[in-house]
Every structure is written in structure tokens, then in C-alpha cells.
Amino acid sequence: MKNELARRNRDYDFFEEAMQDFFPSFYGRNSGRKYMRTDIKESDDAYTMEVELPGMDKKDIHIDLKDGYLNISAEKSEHEEGDKKDNYIHRERSFSCSRSYYVGDVDKEDVKAKYENGMLTLVIPKEAPKAKADHRIEIE
């Protein structure tokens, strides 16, 4: 912890910052997949998505369906009036994240969502297969 705080307070080093951005796993960064880890299961008639969102409240999570994409965003802020008197050096409990998933042509009324114990569960019905119709082509 001491080394991390000392590192934050030293002069800015452009080369080191650039190297951390280009090689995040080498420097211990998780390349943006720290939040919203997702498992997707398939059944005969639906897909079930389980999205990890620990420490969130249901009101902090927003789900939209537009043009075949399911967009999930979450935003949490721990900055409250009582925190102003505390002398924080570094805070990591405020964050926002979002992910998009292509789900195809699905009606938003058919998607079911539930949030419980840090896990967002979405049930998305599969697209009904279109009936194949024979199209006879007439010869002129």
C-alpha cells in the first residue's frame, strides 16, 4: 500500500504510463474486464445470462434493448455529504461500467431480468425460426 501511494505522488512518467497502457496484464491491470463478467447458458428455447455486478443496488443498473443489442450499464458513487470531512487519499468504490451483447430480434417485453446477491440474471428467448416457404419460380 505504501509503495502504491508513493508511486501515485511522484512526478508523472509518460513512458511508464504508456507502457502500462500497452501491456496491462504485465503491470497488473485487467484490461477492462474487471467488472461485468458474464456467463451465458443455452437451453432449447432461451439464453440465460448471468452478469456479475457485486455491491450494486438494483437502482444503479440500467438495461436497454435497441437494434438487436442488449446494453447493460451500472454506475455506483460512494461520494456522499458525510465523506467530505474524511481525508481520503484514494477511493475505488465509485465506478461505472457498461457492456453490449448482440441478442438479435427480440421484443423487450420477452426479456426477463432479476438481480439478487450481486448477480444479474437475464433470460432472453431465442428467435423463433422462420418457416421455410417454397417459392416456385415461373419460367417465362
Highest mean pLDDT range out of 1-5, 31-35, 127-131?
A: 127-131
Share of the chain above pLDDT 90, in %: 36
Average pLDDT, integer, range 18-43 = 65
Q: How far apart are CA 52 and CA 118, in angstroms?
A: 6
Q: pLDDT band at 69, cuts 50/70/90?
A: very high
Please, which residues bridge with residue 124 across strands?
47
pLDDT band for position 56 (50/70/90)?
confident
Angstrom distance (rounded) from CA 48 to CA 125: 9
Structural domains of the chain, ranges and CATH numbers in brackets:
1-31 (no CATH), 33-80+88-127 (2.60.40.790)
**pLDDT band with cut points at 50, 70 and 90 for residue 4:** very low
* Exposure string over 87-112, b if 16+ CB within 10 A, otherwise e: eeeeeeeeeebebebebeebeeeebe
| Bridge partners, 122 (sequence order) | 49, 113
Three-state DSSP at 19 gives helix
Which band of pLDDT confidence, cut at 50, 70 and 90, is reported for residue 120? very high
- For residue 139, the model assigns a pLDDT of 85
